[in-house]
Amino acid sequence: MKLLEIMDERVVKVPMESEDKEEAIEELLDVLVRAGKITDRDAALNAIHNRESKQTTGIGNGVAVPHGKDKSISTLVCAVGVSPQGLDFDSIDGKPVHAVFLLLAQANNPGPHLAALAEIARILEFPTMRNALFKARTPAEVMQTIRGLE
């Protein structure tokens, strides 16, 4: 699975305006709505909140991957936001988040969802890769960085 298969510049937000987890999730959901990638914002938000209630998706090292599955989602979608100043995401390491990957998937099709999560983990495994993403200042730079990492 390549993230670029489910992304384009319309679903990238740089810089994010959010200061915390809830604002970041809502900001990226709005990006997906404007891009026509989701039609039921409330259902998507509930799916993400249900997942966040189990454990934070602030995975550490400046990255968060909020995600959820819902029957209103027809295909896997992803939005990415970069926060140069960092935001409070209740991360497991207690540090600010600089990149947020928001994933929404079909409720009964876990394969693509898991593949996307694995791809995000793979490309952000190394500090130099994360730092290149954190320094991106435009949607085009984010896409170019991900293209280079994949």
CB neighbours of residue 2 within 10 Å = 13
Residue 98, strand partner residues: none
Give the type of residue at 43. A
Which residues fall within 8 angstroms of residue 74, CB to CB, at 6 or more apart?
106
CA-CA-CA-CA dihedral for 124, 19, 92, 61, to nearest 10: 30
Distance, C-alpha 147 to centroid of its chain: 16
Helix or strand or coil: residue 27? helix
Is 113 designated active site?
A: no
Which residues fall within 8 angstroms of residue 108, CB to CB, at 6 or more apart?
71
What does the chain come to in residues? 150
Which residues are known to be catalytic? 67
